[in-house]
Amino acid sequence: MFSFKIQAIQGRARAGIFTTPHGDLETPLFAPVGTQAAVKTLTPAQLDELGASLVLANTYHLFLRPGDELVADMGGLHCFMQWPHPILTDSGGFQVFSLAQTRKIDDDGVTFKSHIDGSTHRFTPEKSIQIQENLGADIIMAFDECSDPNNHGYSKTAMERTHRWAERSLTAKKRTDQALFGIIQGGVDPDLRTTSAQFISSLSFPGIAIGGLSVGETKQEMHATLRLVTQLLPENKPRYLMGVGTPEDLINGIALGVDIFDCVLPTRLARHNAAFSSQGRLNLMNATFAHDQHPIDETCDCYTCRTFTRAYLRHLIVAKELLAGTLLSIHNLHALIQLVKDIRTSIINNTFKSKVPGWLEKWHGNAERKSTILHKEAG
């Protein structure tokens, strides 16, 4: 049911197709995050119109509410949320481990308290796989432990535990219509990351995720880790960089050989009145936009930019109209989805290397101007 075919390579950047039961995924791709089986402010039809091919849902949140067994009774996530294309669920590990004050970790699993009602629950690799099998996503994740990247001792312990849990996740998996990805951990330590990449690659996962990045390390550390890890991974399996999603990160990640990305950033920025643009991130609450008749971005052809002015969008924000979040989410997601599609086309056409400098110049915002530019990796 699952296969990965590389169509073109330029430098370390790859264009491929990952076949799943709910359709082919053309990589590289960016996946919007639908934490509660819904991408905030958008309908499935709107996501389809944006060209989204993969949506991520959250195991921890759906376990607590409405419950994975209820979702299974409703026919699984595809029926429940009316999304006909592929779905990916995370393992719940990151969310559980972020509950630092209300969870206890041991070698068997994690005991934690619900952020909703304080009730006590326990996740093990076996439990995480069971929940994800009930949810029914096409791609599911091994249970892992994400650590503080700046704590070497903890990173080593978490990595070793993640490796044991990866083996248990593989043993626990029963459904054949789901692809289970293993996760590489190890903080920003090169030796730990090398060990983890080699171990996870040695197991029979059809895809491999890189976890524990964009969680407090510098951009330079993230890029150095990616540069090291991707060259250690098998060529015939898709590579998923978890939770990373600025335009510059997508460009650099693809240049280093990453195939799949997801991030809450585009919809979160939209809910905080911010939009990606070729002028950097715009805060549309700013009074300077009150009489601005331009679209968010003159170079963008999304529905929002084709139809509405910055002045109208600012009016919606000031008036606290829910439509503001929808229109900004449409624009922000379109920006990332279209960027990755354009990159994919350039890899196939063998023009990626020449176009990377222009994309980086266009998309890195003011806050990112000192980030490492990796277009040389595309060669």
Query: According to the model, what pLDDT value does residue 202 have?
Result: 98
Q: Which of 138, 144, 259, 262 is catalytic?
A: 262
Instruction: Strands of 172-289 (E only): list them.
Output: 179-184, 207-210, 239-241, 260-263, 274-275, 282-283
Count of domains in the chain? 1
- Give the confidence band of 336 by pLDDT, cuts at 50, 70, 90: very high
| Burial class, 167, CB count within 10 angstroms (exposed 0-12 / middle 13-18 / buried 19+) | middle
Active site residue 262: yes
- Give the confidence band of 93 by pLDDT, cuts at 50, 70, 90: confident
- Give the confidence band of 148 by pLDDT, cuts at 50, 70, 90: confident
Segment 196-216 shows an average pLDDT of 96
39-67 confidence digits (pLDDT tens) = 999 999 999 999 999 999 999 999 999 99
Among 365, 347, 359, residue whose Cα is nearest residue 374: 359
Segment 350-368 shows an average pLDDT of 82
Question: How many whole angstroms from its chain centre is CA 340?
Answer: 13
Q: Does 146 fall in a domain?
A: yes
pLDDT at 377 over 50: no
A 10 A CB-CB count for 6 gives 14
Query: According to the model, what pLDDT value does residue 370 have?
Result: 37
Q: Does 189 fall in a domain?
A: yes
Q: Does 294 fall in a domain?
A: no
> Greater confidence, 139 or 99?
139
CB 103 within 8 A of CB 112: yes
Query: According to the model, what pLDDT value does residue 232 have?
Result: 98
Query: According to the model, what pLDDT value does residue 99 have?
Result: 74
Query: According to the model, what pLDDT value does residue 369 have?
Result: 42
| DSSP codes joined into one string, 169-201 | HHHH---SSSEEEEEE--TT-HHHHHHHHHHHH
Q: Does 129 fall in a domain?
A: yes
Q: Does 243 fall in a domain?
A: yes
Query: According to the model, what pLDDT value does residue 262 have?
Result: 98
Query: According to the model, what pLDDT value does residue 348 have?
Result: 98
Rounded-to-integer distance, Cα 227 and Cα 229, Å: 6
Computed over every residue of the chain, the mean pLDDT equals 94
State whether the Cα torsion 293-340-363-218 is positive or negative: positive
CB 78 within 8 A of CB 21: no
**CA dist list (Å): 183 to 307, 308, 370:** 42, 42, 29
> Greater confidence, 148 or 108?
108
pLDDT at 100 over 80: no
Which residue in this structure is represented by tokens 């503001």? 324
- Give the confidence band of 322 by pLDDT, cuts at 50, 70, 90: very high
Q: Does 16 fall in a domain?
A: no
- Give the confidence band of 378 by pLDDT, cuts at 50, 70, 90: very low
- Give the confidence band of 94 by pLDDT, cuts at 50, 70, 90: confident
Phi then psi for 150, rounded to 5 degrees?
A: -95, 5
- Domain interval for residue 232: 58-263
Rounded-to-integer distance, Cα 335 and Cα 342, Å: 11
pLDDT at 342 over 70: yes
pLDDT at 98 over 90: no
Rounded-to-integer distance, Cα 350 and Cα 333, Å: 26
Segment 138-158 shows an average pLDDT of 94
Helices (H), 39-135: 44-50, 59-64, 68-73, 77-81, 93-98, 125-135
* Residue 54 region by backbone torsions, left for phi larger than 0, else alpha for psi between -120 and 50, else beta: beta
Phi then psi for 308, rounded to 5 degrees?
A: -125, 155
Domain CATH number, residue 124: 3.20.20.105
Segment 286-312 shows an average pLDDT of 98
Cα within 13 Å of Cα(274), Cβ side: 11
Q: Which of 68, 90, 138, 249 is catalytic?
A: 90
Segment 162-173 shows an average pLDDT of 98
CB 18 within 8 A of CB 238: yes
User: 152-172 vs 190-202: helix axis angle to the nearest 10?
Assistant: 10
CA 254-256-259 angle, 5° bins? 40
**CA dist list (Å): 276 to 61, 283, 332, 376:** 28, 9, 6, 25
pLDDT at 142 over 80: yes
Segment 228-238 shows an average pLDDT of 98
Active site residue 90: yes
140: which residues sit within 8 A by CB, 6+ positions away? 88, 89, 91, 129, 132, 133, 173, 178, 179, 180, 181
Cα within 13 Å of Cα(349), Cβ side: 10
Rounded-to-integer distance, Cα 195 and Cα 3, Å: 26
Q: Does 67 fall in a domain?
A: yes
Q: Does 27 fall in a domain?
A: no
State whether the Cα torsion 307-309-312-313 is positive or negative: positive
Segment 24-45 shows an average pLDDT of 98
Rounded-to-integer distance, Cα 40 and Cα 373, Å: 31
